[in-house]
Amino acid sequence: MGVVNITPDSFSDGGRFLDREAAVSHARRLAEEGADIIDLGGESTRPGAAPVSEQEELNRVIPVLQTLNLFDKPISVDTRRPAVMRAALAAGASMINDIQALAAPGALEAVAGSDCAVCLMHMKGTPATMQQEPRYDDVVAEVKAFLKEAVARATAAGIERARIVADPGFGFGKTAGHNLEILRKLAEFQSLEVPILAGLSRKSTIGKITGRPADERLAGSLAMALLALQGGAKILRVHDVKETKDVIAVWRAFENDA
Ligand code: 7PJ
């Protein structure tokens, strides 16, 4: 899964033609590099990011999505808002990626009313506050229990299990220690009986380990990708598709599954 953020330049809200063009050309590149899914996001959920209005999020995502449909690649839309989910599904999105696991009122219904795939992610707190001293007694048990409940809520709402993937939410209300503990025990998440998605690319845990800024975390991200594959992850959410595809090729050859 290749990440495409529709981000504003300094004079725009992200809904301008140039911002959209940049997102489309980036998505085209990731598709050419072999991404199986393009994950399109119009709201920054990095720790402490400024909020984006619903209308602004729609203005960012929908026109880009309409253009990307021409590539014939499944498009995932990263959103927490039911109105954005509905508009995205009407515009041809194949997957909804929700960092709060369909917790918003109406979100379960928005997804249940279509045949799309959905990623249910764990987050502790909200993006504004989640990195302020997150605490767990047992991070793996707690995140797994949360995801088990989220899968149960989704299936009870009529979303078939075959449409669901689960994600422990690396960096969302978790310290580097928590993230590493989850990664060490990622295989335990297979008891959820849905595919596991892992998003570690360029995250601050890599910065903490290597001392490098976000634009120098490629090697660390590739190491994380390999560890996630070894833990059984089936979808890797990454910025660097071409390089990650090579990691996957090496891992598959090692596993004798190339
Ligand atoms: C994730 C995400 C992730 C899923 C972001 C960033 C922050 N969606 N959206 N999993 N991260 N499912 O890319 O650094 O880990 S935004």
Q: If you measure from the C-alpha of residue 169 to the centroid of ligand 1, how many angstroms do you get, rounded to a whole number?
A: 7
What range does the domain containing 44 cover? 2-257
On the question of pLDDT at 220 being above 70, the answer is yes
Q: Which of 170, 181, 94, 84 is nearest to 139 (CA)?
A: 181
Q: What is the pLDDT of residue 131?
A: 82
Q: What is the pLDDT of residues 157-200, one digit of tens each?
A: 999 999 999 999 999 999 999 999 999 999 999 999 999 999 99
Q: What is the pLDDT of residues 21-76, one digit of tens each?
A: 999 999 999 999 999 999 999 998 777 777 889 999 999 999 999 999 888 899 99
Q: What is the pLDDT of residue 49?
A: 74
CB of 124 closer than 6 A to ligand 1? no
Select which of 73, 124, 174, 237 is catalytic.
Answer: 237
Is 203 annotated as catalytic?
Answer: yes
Q: What is the pLDDT of residues 98-149, one digit of tens each?
A: 999 999 999 999 999 999 999 999 999 888 888 888 999 999 999 999 999 9
Q: Which of 207, 210, 197 is nearest to 170 (CA)?
A: 197
Task: Decide if 43 contacts 79 (C-beta within 8 A).
Answer: yes
Looking at every residue in the chain, the average pLDDT score rounds to: 95
Q: What is the pLDDT of residue 257?
A: 66
Annotate 184-218 with DSSP letters as a single string.
HTGGGGGGG-S-BEE--TT-HHHHHHH---GGG-H
Task: Decide if 63 contacts 91 (C-beta within 8 A).
Answer: no
Annotate 131-155 with DSSP letters as a single string.
TSS---SSHHHHHHHHHHHHHHHHH
Q: What is the pLDDT of residue 127?
A: 83
Task: Decide if 78 contacts 40 (C-beta within 8 A).
Answer: yes
Q: Is the pTM of this model over 0.75?
A: yes
Q: Tell me the C-alpha distance between 159 and 114, whole Å.
A: 9
CB of 173 closer than 6 A to ligand 1? no
Q: What is the pLDDT of residue 164?
A: 98
Select which of 203, 234, 242, 245 is catalytic.
Answer: 203
Q: If you measure from the C-alpha of residue 95 to the centroid of ligand 1, how many angstroms do you get, rounded to a whole number?
A: 14
Atom 3 of ligand 1, residue of closest alpha carbon: 199
- Band (pLDDT 50/70/90 cuts) for residue 7 is confident
φ/ψ of 5, rounded to 5, equals -100, 135
Residue 39 three-state SS:
strand
What CATH number did the domain enclosing 92 receive?
Answer: 3.20.20.20
* Count of beta carbons in the 10 Å neighbourhood of residue 203: 21
Into how many domains does the chain fold?
1
On the question of pLDDT at 258 being above 70, the answer is no
